[in-house]
Amino acid sequence: MNRKFIVLFLVVAAFFSACKKEDFAYEDAFNRSYKTWLDFKASSGDNYRYVVTGATWAGSAWETTITVKSGVVMQRDFRYTRFNDVWRPETGWTLNEVDEILVAFEKSAHALTEQEKDSFLVQLEWSETEEELDADAHAQSPAGALLTLDDIYDTARTVWLENRSDATVSFDAKNNGMLSSAGFVPDNCADDCFSGIHIRSIEAI
């Protein structure tokens, strides 16, 4: 009798374990990726850089490179790779592209002064080093936030991958097992609705 009871108990326990709802979406995949991140963190001495990407349906795209040393963000480099369907040359943005952008906005190339064009040019591509890092300095820019990968994994677990009944949640770990995408898109939302992060690459330095 005791043996039958034990077998029944194990069957019931296994059933409820299998039916247990994940604390957050993609929990198992996340945990595997998080372990890979911890191994990478140890092997790199917590020194690395990663590239965050973003885009909008209106014809712009951008990337932000975050450099981390000893677990602290030390540098942020931002650039538009495309602005309003004007592509960044391999050698970098120039005033020629600013004039193209003005034309795309149906404005005359003479609509801005040279000083105003220079100011616009600076917004297309910039860098912040350790002494210049400021979360508010480029508040109007779509640049990636000043986050370490520890911060990103924590935000993914507690915010982006939260189980939601009104949104589609997604997660990928295509950076050699480390996080490449995490976030959600609310139901019935048409354009630029993704909340989360896309990471194109992660490398030790």
**Cα–Cα separations (whole angstroms), residue 58 to 55, 71, 77, 84, 86:** 8, 36, 23, 7, 11
81 and 88 in contact (C-beta within 8 Å)? yes
Amino acid at 40: F
What integer pLDDT is reported at residue 190 of this predicted model?
79
- pLDDT 10s digits, 136-180: 778 889 999 999 999 999 999 999 999 999 999 999 999 999 999
Amino acid at 128: E
- pLDDT 10s digits, 66-90: 999 999 999 999 999 999 999 999 9
Question: Among 126, 140, 148, 185, which residue's Cα sits nearest to residue 52?
Answer: 148
Q: Which residue has the higher pLDDT, 114 or 196?
A: 196
Q: Which residue has the higher pLDDT, 44 or 136?
A: 44
Half-sphere exposure (Cβ direction) of 189: Cα atoms closer than 13 Å: 12
101 and 58 in contact (C-beta within 8 Å)? no
CA–CA distance, 81 with 200 (Å, rounded to integer): 14
From the CB of residue 36, how many other CB atoms can be counted at a distance below 10 Å? 16
Confidence of residue 18 (pLDDT cuts 50, 70, 90): very low
pTM for the whole thing? Answer: 0.84
The chain-wide mean pLDDT, for the chain, equals 88
Confidence of residue 16 (pLDDT cuts 50, 70, 90): very low
| Structure-token match 């990636």, residue found | 144
Residues facing 66 on adjacent strands = 50, 76
